[in-house]
Structure 1
Amino acid sequence: MSRRTTVLACLVMSTLLSIIAATPAAAATPRSEWDYVALGDSYSSGVGASGQTGLCLRSANGYPGLWNAANDPKSYRSVACGGATTTSLRSTQLWPLTRGTDLVTLTIGGNDVGFASTVITCTLSSDSKCAATVASAMQVLRTEMTAKLDGAYADIRREAPNARVVVLGYPILFDETAATCGIGGMSIAKRKSINSGAAELNELIAARATAAGFTFSDVTDEFAGHGICAATPWLNGLTVIPATNSFHPNAAGYRSGYLRALNAALN
């Protein structure tokens, strides 16, 4: 073997070893041996699905529970909690993470920009008031959320250095084609304002998750054609009992939307 060939072989081997070393441990082991921890807000705790329990409204019918049931990992723990923000995630949800954690999933950021209050305001107010409320939320997004997301993602990586981390986005809530939409009569203008805000939030989450070395899974394709007021919605509209289910995925949304997006990210 010539010196040139030997050098080339060494370079190829070095590159392969670097790739292997950089691959999360979860990728090298079967899912039945994974330790899985679900973090995040109500979209990860399972609000909107049946079987919610406790103050955090966790349900086995949210996407983490469905993934656990389908894959039977070695361990599974959900500490996701309805109403969670990046701050509460960092202070109350990181304790199950260890060097041995193989998979972490989360949705976070919606409550930091006032998701719930914004949608409720839009339901009850005028088109112009809705647009102004969304604009205010986007100002928070543009000035505060990069640092908040970066801090949360850094903490997760520090506590679970070997894990595959999948950050999932939020669906575009509303169908924009139906002439009328729900009990509150959400106008097309209001729906467009809310949807544009959700799209901008997803863009920032995707950018910061990628910068952290995490996998971002965009759920908008899965939910396309299934927004609130579509013919077959995968999201709850304004709900009276329980009110907390409002504007969250229903059973089809978690199974055919979020779970499908998570599986695609892991394949």
Structure 2
Amino acid sequence: MTNYVALGDSYSSGTGAGDYEPDSGSCNRSANAYPRLWAAKHSAASVKFVACSGATTATVRSGQLSALSGTTTLVSITVGGNDAGFGTVMQTCVLRSTSSCQTAVTTAEKYISTTLPGKLDSLYRDIRAKSPSAQVIVLGYPRLYKMVDGCVGLNQTKRAALNKAADALDTTIEKSVANAGLTFSDVRDEFAGHELCSGDGWLHSVTIPLGSSYHPTAIGHARGYLPAMNALDVRSLAM
């Protein structure tokens, strides 16, 4: 019996995937988000979908961990991008010069390497304390761009900088997950060949409203994040 709790930020809530649940408000919880797709596919006994657009490690702790309990058997989460200010970084890279973009990425990478690990370590400890019997799956973030010539929009230097930042974020998350004894699922392999500029992208480019920009589409959840969950040995299914 699987008692599933889905925590995290916009990459878990499904911002950009459409079909938002009416009671989710600005959290933008989508019926097309991978937690809903996974729960439906595996007939979970109970589902608490509390992921919220804009969430940080601090707001996951203050606003989402109450969904966990000693009977929780499975937890999924994406978190860390908002702590590192990725939304501001992306806006800078879209709207400002290449040098401004590179500076913003460098600032984010410094935060990712020096400050974020402690915040992740603390959050993961709290998740484990509240759900000691659960399998906790931490999913990463995809690279945004396939590096090809002739793609309109940001120049190659900006695209490379954003990809480098995504790699830095995933590396830090993976290390903290390992230290906590949790399970990491790297989604970059699922999204490989489906980044922006690939011709078959599973991510939004710059959109109106801006909130969906650089987030997975419904296809990105169904063919990217959901397979990343399905590829794991989810022990709670046998409980």
Counterpart pick for 2:135 among 139, 145, 164 = 164
Measure, in 1, the Cα distance between the counterparts of 2:169 and 2:136. Answer: 19
Gaps of 5+ in 2: 235-239
Amino acid paired to 1:64: P
Following superposition, the deviation at residue 265 of structure 1 comes to 1.8
Counterpart pick for 1:144 among 106, 112, 115 = 115
What secondary structure, in the 3-state scheme, does the structure 2 residue paired with 1:36 have?
strand
Following superposition, the deviation at residue 230 of structure 1 comes to 1.4
Cα-Cα RMSD: 1.0
Q: TM-score, normalised by structure 1?
A: 0.85
Amino acid paired to 2:233: L
Q: Say if 2:195 is the partner of 1:188.
A: no
Deviations 1:58-91 (A, max 9, x none): 0111000100111111000111000000000111
Q: Say if 2:190 is the partner of 1:222.
A: yes
Following superposition, the deviation at residue 102 of structure 1 comes to 0.5
Q: Which protein is bigger by CA-based radius of gyration?
A: 1
Following superposition, the deviation at residue 180 of structure 1 comes to 2.5
How many aligned residue pairs are there?
231
For 2:226, the equivalent position in structure 1 comes to 259
Amino acid paired to 1:82: S
Q: Say if 2:79 is the partner of 1:85.
A: no
For 1:9, the equivalent position in structure 2 comes to none
For 2:20, the equivalent position in structure 1 comes to 52
Matches within 5 A, 1:34-113: 34-53=2-21, 54-113=25-84
Measure, in 1, the Cα distance between the counterparts of 2:26 and 2:141. Answer: 22
Deviations 1:159-197 (A, max 9, x none): 00000000000000112114223xxx2111100000001
After the TM superposition, list the runs of 4 or more consecutive aligned residues in structure 1 that deviate by more than 3 angstroms.
none
Measure, in 2, the Cα distance between the counterparts of 1:50 and 1:74. Answer: 25
For 2:94, the equivalent position in structure 1 comes to 123
Gaps of 5+ in 1: 1-32
For 1:249, the equivalent position in structure 2 comes to 216
Measure, in 1, the Cα distance between the counterparts of 2:9 and 2:233. Answer: 21
Identity level (%): 47
Shift in alpha-carbon separation, 1:266–1:60, aligned structure 2, 3 A: farther
Deviations 1:112-157 (A, max 9, x none): 0001110111001111111111001111112211110001000000
Amino acid paired to 2:10: S
Deviations 1:1-24 (A, max 9, x none): xxxxxxxxxxxxxxxxxxxxxxxx
